[in-house]
Amino acid sequence: MASMTRTRSGTIPSMETSGHGFTDNTIIVVFGASGDLAKKKTYPALFGLYRNGYLPKDVHIIGYARTKMDEEEYHKRTTSYIKNPNNDPEVAAKIEEFKKLSSYVSGNYDDNPSFQNLARHMEAIEKGYKTRGVNRLFYLALPPSVFVPVAQHVKVCCYATNGTNRIIVEKPFGKDLQSCRELLSSLKQSWQEEETYRIDHYLGKEMVKNLLVLRFANVAMGAAWDKHSISSVQISFKEPFGTEGRGGYFDEFGIIRDILQNHLLQVLSILTMERPVSFASEDIRDEKVKVLRSIPPIKREDVLLGQYVGANGKPGYLDDDTVPKGSVCPTFAATTLWINNERWEGVPFILKAGKALNEAKVEIRVQFKDVTSGIFKDISRNELVIRIQPSEAVYLKLNTKTPGYAFRAIPTEMDLTYKRRFTDTNIPEAYEALILDAIKGDHSNFVRDDELDVAWKIFTPILHWIDGREGPRPKPSPYPYGSRGPKELDSFIEKLGYKRGTGEDYSWPTTNVSNL
């Protein structure tokens, strides 16, 4: 049953759960505890949940990896990214408490004795439980090459027969349609769909979750949400740093598999799906799959690829020691997708992502059509911008009469910057929100198997072309580290009808009218 959350302005039925919430007797095992993701995201998220009282009572966290390290080293690593900028003694004390509920086991990813050792460690902890029934949550913060052996060994050696088991699997789920299907079917041999949580952490981001409310709780928004009003949509991901040390992983996958095929496509599906029957996870995911099925595979002419080169004292992609010599792996990609349904026919959806760009920003930019010509000349288009990060915001660029004697229009904006509007809110990190969902048994913000299938169908043909399976590999266009991307980017977007604002007139957040 969906429960209701009372808010001052309305009620939102919370997502339906497909299993019971873990409230006590819980062990969380983090596989790959020595790694980058564990250090930067998983443990800080677990700490955030612990600090705010969201972890089950008497929870225990076990880190597992091959690296041999003592508990001191383990605690040092796993708390190194937990923020306490002002050395707040209360936070420091919480960090010490957090360390006490966590232990480390070293072992391999492919042999029974290692997993049996882990099972014994769990059983020793569970002996202290006062009530019957245990909950085990296994988090695979691992490279995809070991997903299957780990999932299988966990099932054979560590699966609780007297309780509930859940497994969280990280992206990327395969490299193309075929390998994804193989991966899914191997995992399904040991884990039921209901027990499996495929994480795409963009689904845990506040502004991505907000899309459901922005779109479906606002009549004004719904009325303009189609090909009649919207000219184009851009979903952009910009990171100001390169692969730095992650080149080995990155070169095997490239920017399309790293960001576009999963994170940005998930955003696109929520932005364009029809209204779900309810907020129940299957209703939402049914609608996402439906819209994705209306997107044909991307054509080569709808792709722009780039690779960063050294500039401003920063190394190029090929200067990274972990990158194979002469690699043509794209670190930037822009692709245009088309949705062949009644609502969206003819509207270009541009997904673009790049490493080593000029800023850190993820945003959705919905550009509306020109107003009917006649009374206005050279007037800016309306644009709705949903900034996912940093500094969550929604702003709508709209034309206003210049205040004062003059009668002319200038572009301004209605601005909902979260920091200013919600002064006392703590927005959880994406991983906090998603781990909490898995603890509660809520699948809504996790990826269903059929979503993956359609997502890979859209991208597989261009990925095979980029991988060189169909002839010579396309050469990405070079762009300097710290720039906006390849020089062809502006024309790529403009040819799809995107109009930059009237430029000089527009200044955000304030405009000095006397300068106009």
Ligand X SMILES: O=C1O[C@H](COP(=O)(O)O)[C@@H](O)[C@H](O)[C@H]1O
DSSP class of residue 314 equals B
Q: Which is nearer to ligand X, 150 or 199 (CB)?
A: 199
Shortest Å, Cβ 66 to ligand NDP: 3
Q: Which is nearer to ligand NDP, 164 or 389 (CB)?
A: 389
Reduced to 3 states, what is the DSSP secondary structure of residue 368? strand
Supply φ then ψ for residue 212, to 5 degrees.
-60, -40
95 CB-contact burial (10 Å; exposed 0-12 / middle 13-18 / buried 19+) = middle
Residue nearest to ligand X (CB): 258
Shortest Å, Cβ 258 to ligand X: 5
State the catalytic residue, choosing from 153, 263, 443, 464: 263
Q: Which is nearer to ligand NDP, 99 or 257 (CB)?
A: 257
* Residue 141 interacting with ligand NDP (CB under 6 A): yes
Cα 152 from Cα 163, distance rounded (Å): 18
- Token pair, residue 104, equals 């480390």
Shortest Å, Cβ 206 to ligand NDP: 17
Q: Which residues pair with 331 in a beta bridge?
A: none
181 CB-contact burial (10 Å; exposed 0-12 / middle 13-18 / buried 19+) = middle
Determine which residue in the list 258, 320, 383, 442 makes contact with ligand X, applying CB under 6 A: 258
Report what 310 binds from ligand X, ligand NDP, none; CB cut-off 5-8 Å by kind.
none
* Residue 32 interacting with ligand NDP (CB under 6 A): yes
Cα 433 from Cα 89, distance rounded (Å): 25
Q: On the CB side of 463, how many CA atoms lie within 13 Å of its CA?
A: 22
What is the SS3 string spanning 175-195? CCHHHHHHHHHHHHHHCCHHH
Helix (H) or strand (E) holding 236: strand 230-238
x/- binding map, residues 93-122, to ligand NDP, per CB under 6 A?
Answer: ----------------x-------------
Longest CA span, the chain: 82
Q: Which is nearer to ligand X, 211 or 362 (CB)?
A: 362
- Token pair, residue 421, equals 């509007």
x/- binding map, residues 51-90, to ligand NDP, per CB under 6 A?
Answer: --------------xxx-----------------------
Determine which residue in the list 12, 95, 125, 146 makes contact with ligand NDP, applying CB under 6 A: 146
Nearest Cα to Cα of residue 209 among 451, 13, 445, 436: 445
* Residue 460 interacting with ligand NDP (CB under 6 A): no
Cα 482 from Cα 315, distance rounded (Å): 11
**Residues making up the chain, counted from first to last:** 516
Strands 60-65 and 102-106: parallel
Strand stretches in 68-191, DSSP E:
102-106, 134-140, 163-169
Determine which residue in the list 136, 171, 397, 440 makes contact with ligand NDP, applying CB under 6 A: 171
Cα 389 from Cα 414, distance rounded (Å): 18
Q: Which is nearer to ligand X, 25 or 266 (CB)?
A: 266
Please indicate whether residue 263 is annotated as part of the active site: yes
Q: In which region does residue 497 sit, left (phi positive, over 0), alpha (psi from -120 to 50) or beta (all else)?
A: left
Shortest Å, Cβ 432 to ligand X: 12
Shortest Å, Cβ 43 to ligand X: 15
Shortest Å, Cβ 324 to ligand X: 18
> Interacting stretch for ligand NDP, rule CB under 6 A, among 168-176, 189-197, 283-291, 330-338?
168-176
Amino acid sitting at position 232: S
* Residue 392 interacting with ligand X (CB under 6 A): no
Determine which residue in the list 37, 187, 362, 410 makes contact with ligand NDP, applying CB under 6 A: 37
- Cite the DSSP H helix spans in 138-176: 147-153
- Name residues contacting ligand NDP, limited to 247-266 (CB under 6 A): 249
Report what 66 binds from ligand X, ligand NDP, none; CB cut-off 5-8 Å by kind.
ligand NDP
Shortest Å, Cβ 35 to ligand NDP: 2
Q: Which is nearer to ligand X, 231 or 236 (CB)?
A: 236
* Residue 315 interacting with ligand NDP (CB under 6 A): no
Cα 174 from Cα 178, distance rounded (Å): 8
Supply φ then ψ for residue 137, to 5 degrees.
-115, 120
Residue nearest to ligand NDP (CB): 35
Shortest Å, Cβ 204 to ligand NDP: 11
- Total of residues contacting ligand X (CB under 6 A): 4
Q: Which is nearer to ligand NDP, 61 or 347 (CB)?
A: 61
Cα 465 from Cα 171, distance rounded (Å): 22
Positions touching ligand X (CB under 6 A) are 201, 239, 258, 362
Active site residues: 263
Positions touching ligand NDP (CB under 6 A) are 32, 34-38, 40, 65-67, 109, 141-146, 170-172, 201, 249
